[in-house]
């Protein structure tokens, strides 16, 4: 329960409350965008400064390799289960959403670790960046396969949307958009700046990337609380099986990450963050791409489940549970 008393988490709860009572409290979109970019820039700098000390080694390679593996395994398993519950296009979109990651969930988890004096590698910021795109590519491949397997008239009749030709959602274009996305690029660029500038850069940027970070995170989580509350009504008409999946699947994904981290002897901090990443779901980057790449899927389905259900559960309860479990199971790993 102590984790719920963290100021940033309390602001998230307050945002949900304000949204539920239909307050006119609102964070302007441009301010919210700035806060998002600030958090990614600060996170990248912190990771870069840490990497400038540790350098690249076998432990880092194992963690990054596991991150990429999870980014491939999670959407595949998700699709196999979801295909029995929803249409192929919706299953592909949901698999991409839950196979990708939430940067805010990850950032909140790093704050939890720092608050409790638990160490983690700066390279985990790179792990987060690596886990974002594979699920998107996976969804595009599945959608193109589904379009080729069914006549256009059948797809249109089932989804109410005129399907795109398979060639229009080229993998190269999707990968390019994912890798050159402003937020993703800022995270990687800030990490490189941190690596190159080292301790001198860390001292110079401390007021920006250190002292302000907690307050900025609290402000951003307030905005996320408001958005979460406004997405809750969309959950009312969703299948109970889908709601159950959105709650249980992240736990299963985290358990998979824990098992693999134990086999590879990954440290508790890094393993815990991999659990958080595997359990998270994208509610910004992936939905934005899916609206164009897989228009046959229902945006209200993958957006409401990820933002309205999975995100708040992870923020309020999942993060402390995953990280404490990792500490218990992986505490002796090196």
Nearest in space to 139 (alpha carbons), one of 182, 175, 94, 96 = 96
d(CA 302, CA 249) in angstroms, rounded, equals: 14
Torsion of CA 40, 221, 174, 145, to 10 degrees: 140
Q: Which two tokens stand for residue 117?
A: 């004096």
The 3 state secondary structure assigned to 45-110 is HHHHHHHHHHCCCHHHHHHHHHHHHHHHHHHHHHHHHHCCCCCHHHHHHHHHHHHCCCHHHHHHHH
DSSP tag of 212: T
Tell me: pLDDT of 152 over 80. no
Rounded to whole angstroms, the Cα distance separating 9 from 315 reads: 7
Please check whether residue 123 is in contact with residue 131, taking contact to mean a CB–CB distance below 8 angstroms. Answer: no
pLDDT in tens, 196-223: 999 999 999 999 988 899 999 999 999 9
The predicted pLDDT at position 171 comes to 59
Q: What is the pLDDT of residue 162?
A: 52
Q: Is 230 helix (H, G, I), strand (E, B) or coil?
A: helix
Q: Which domains does the chain have, with CATH numbers?
A: 2-330 (1.20.1530.20)
pLDDT of residue 331: 84
pLDDT per residue as tens digits for the range 96-114 = 999 999 999 999 999 999 9
- What number is the average pLDDT over the span 291-308? 89
Query: What percentage of the chain carries pLDDT values higher than 70?
Result: 88
Of these ranges, 2-11, 31-40, 283-292, the one predicted with the greatest mean pLDDT is: 31-40
**Number of C-beta neighbours around residue 73 at 10 A:** 18
- What pLDDT was estimated at residue 168? 46
> Confidence band (pLDDT; 50, 70, 90) for 313?
very high
Question: Radius of gyration over alpha carbons of the chain, in Å?
Answer: 19
- On the 0-12 / 13-18 / 19+ scale of CB atoms within 10 A, 248 is exposed
Phi, psi for residue 117 in degrees, rounded to 5: 65, 30
Q: Is pTM, for the whole model, over 0.85?
A: yes
Q: How confident is the model at residue 124 (pLDDT cuts 50, 70, 90)?
A: very high
DSSP per residue, 144-191:
HHHHHHS-HHHHHHHHSSPPPPGGGS-HHHHHHHHHH-HHHHHHHHHH
The confidence band for 288, taking pLDDT boundaries of 50, 70 and 90, is: confident
Query: Which has the closest alpha carbon to 291: 106, 134, 96, 149?
Result: 96
Q: Please state, in angstroms and rounded to a whole number, the distance separating the CA atoms of residues 92 and 78.
A: 9
Q: Which residue has the higher pLDDT, 171 or 25?
A: 25
Q: What is the pLDDT of residues 59-79, one digit of tens each?
A: 899 999 999 999 999 999 999
pLDDT greater than 70 at residue 227: yes
- Reading phi first (left if > 0) and then psi (alpha if -120 to 50, else beta), residue 329 is in alpha
Q: Mean pLDDT over all residues of the chain? A: 87
Count other C-beta atoms under 10 Å from residue 21's C-beta: 9
Q: Tell whether the model's pLDDT for residue 255 goes beyond 60.
A: yes
Look up residue 15 and give its two tokens.
Answer: 């945002």
Return the C-alpha torsion angle 111, 112, 116, 121, nearest 10.
-60
Distance CA 86, CA 231 (A): 20
Please tell me which residue, 295 or 244, carries the higher pLDDT value: 244
| CA–CA dist 135, 158 (Å, integer) | 24
Find the mean pLDDT for residues 251-273: 96
C-alpha span between 245 and 318 (Å, rounded): 15
Whether the pLDDT of residue 236 is over 60: the answer is yes
Q: Measure CA of the first residue to CA of the last residue in the chain; give whole Å.
A: 29
Contact 64, 122 (CB under 8 A): no
């Amino acid at each position: 329960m102590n984790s719920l008393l963290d100021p940033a988490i309390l602001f998230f709860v307050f945002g949900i409350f304000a949204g539920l009572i239909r307050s006119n409290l609102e964070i302007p979109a441009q301010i919210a965008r700035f806060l998002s970019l600030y958090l990614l820039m600060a996170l990248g700098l912190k990771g870069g400064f840490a990497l400038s000390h540790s350098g690249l080694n076998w432990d880092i390679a194992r963690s990054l390799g596991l991150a990429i593996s999870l980014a491939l395994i999670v959407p595949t398993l998700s699709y196999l289960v979801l295909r029995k519950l929803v249409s192929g296009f919706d299953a592909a979109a949901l698999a991409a959403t839950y196979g990708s990651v939430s940067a805010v969930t990850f950032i909140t988890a790093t704050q939890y670790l720092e608050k409790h004096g638990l160490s983690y590698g700066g390279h985990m910021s790179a792990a987060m960046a690596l886990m974002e795109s594979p699920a998107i590519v996976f969804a595009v491949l599945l959608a193109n396969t589904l379009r080729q397997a069914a006549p256009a008239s059948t797809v249109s009749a089932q989804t109410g949307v005129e399907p795109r030709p398979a060639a229009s959602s080229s993998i190269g274009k999707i990968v390019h958009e994912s890798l050159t996305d402003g937020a993703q690029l800022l995270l990687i660029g800030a990490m490189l700046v941190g690596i190159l500038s080292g301790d001198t850069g860390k001292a110079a940027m401390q007021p920006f990337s250190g002292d302000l970070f907690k307050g900025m995170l609290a402000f951003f989580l307030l905005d996320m609380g408001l958005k979460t509350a406004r997405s809750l009504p969309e959950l009312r008409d969703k299948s109970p099986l889908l709601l159950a999946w959105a709650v249980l699947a992240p736990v299963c994904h985290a358990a998979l990450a824990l098992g693999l981290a134990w086999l590879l002897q990954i440290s508790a901090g890094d393993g815990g963050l991999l659990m958080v990443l595997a359990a998270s779901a994208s509610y910004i980057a992936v939905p934005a791409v899916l609206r164009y790449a897989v228009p046959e899927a229902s945006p209200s389905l993958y957006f409401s489940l990820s933002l309205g259900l999975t995100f708040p559960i992870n923020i309020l309860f999942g993060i402390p549970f995953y990280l404490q479990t990792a500490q218990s199971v992986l505490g002796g790993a090196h």
